[in-house]
Amino acid sequence: MILQMFNTTLCYIRRGESYLMMHRIKKDGDVNQGKWIGVGGKFENGESPEECLLREVEEETGLTLSDYRFRGIVTFVNDGWGTEYMHLFTAETREEELKECEEGILRWVPEAEIDALPQWEGDKIFFKLIREEAPFFSLKLCYENDILKKAVLNGRDLTI
């Protein structure tokens, strides 16, 4: 079995005290099934991280981002799906109207409620870094059977 390496984007869009989150419940075979995540997706051929970000956000939400920040690179390693290099962004918006998304349900979630949502354990780590305004970072997350086994931030092991 040949496992692939691929690039993706993920963006946490803030409006006031809430973040736009997607409950991934609509797509069969979705690796994120049942989880709450930001918005984003896989690079298309020849895209830069910023081009992928803008396209994916518009496709999934209908929002047009004009102000965003590149926050870090997250390397996901999983024995079942290969290696993913996720380019992590944040953005701000005042827009409220969202289009219906084919991949999940979009909802503005108050920041105080996000930690209680079903999420990947590693997502909680990088979302915390975002909220703490950490400088640009590299985070490696190693999963076995969907269980986080190792996290490495800027070359240093984190205690899990």
Q: How confident is the model at residue 145 (pLDDT cuts 50, 70, 90)?
A: confident
Residues pairing with 137 in the sheet: 72
The CATH number of the domain holding residue 119 is 3.90.79.10
Domain range holding 52? 5-158
How high is the pLDDT of residue 159? 74
How high is the pLDDT of residue 2? 53
Mapped onto helix, strand or coil, the DSSP state of residue 27 is coil
pLDDT tens digits along 19-68 = 999 987 776 765 766 789 899 999 999 999 999 999 999 999 999 898 99
DSSP assignment of 67-115, as one string? SEEEEEEEEEEETTTEEEEEEEEEEE---------SSSEEEEEEHHHHT
Tell me the pTM: 0.91
Environment class of 152 (CB within 10 Å of its CB; exposed 0-12, middle 13-18, buried 19+): middle
| Alpha-carbon span 2 to 5, nearest angstrom | 10
pLDDT tens digits along 98-135 = 988 888 899 999 999 999 999 999 999 999 999 999 99
How many domains is the chain partitioned into structurally? 1
Q: HSE on the CB side for 109, CA within 13 Å? A: 19
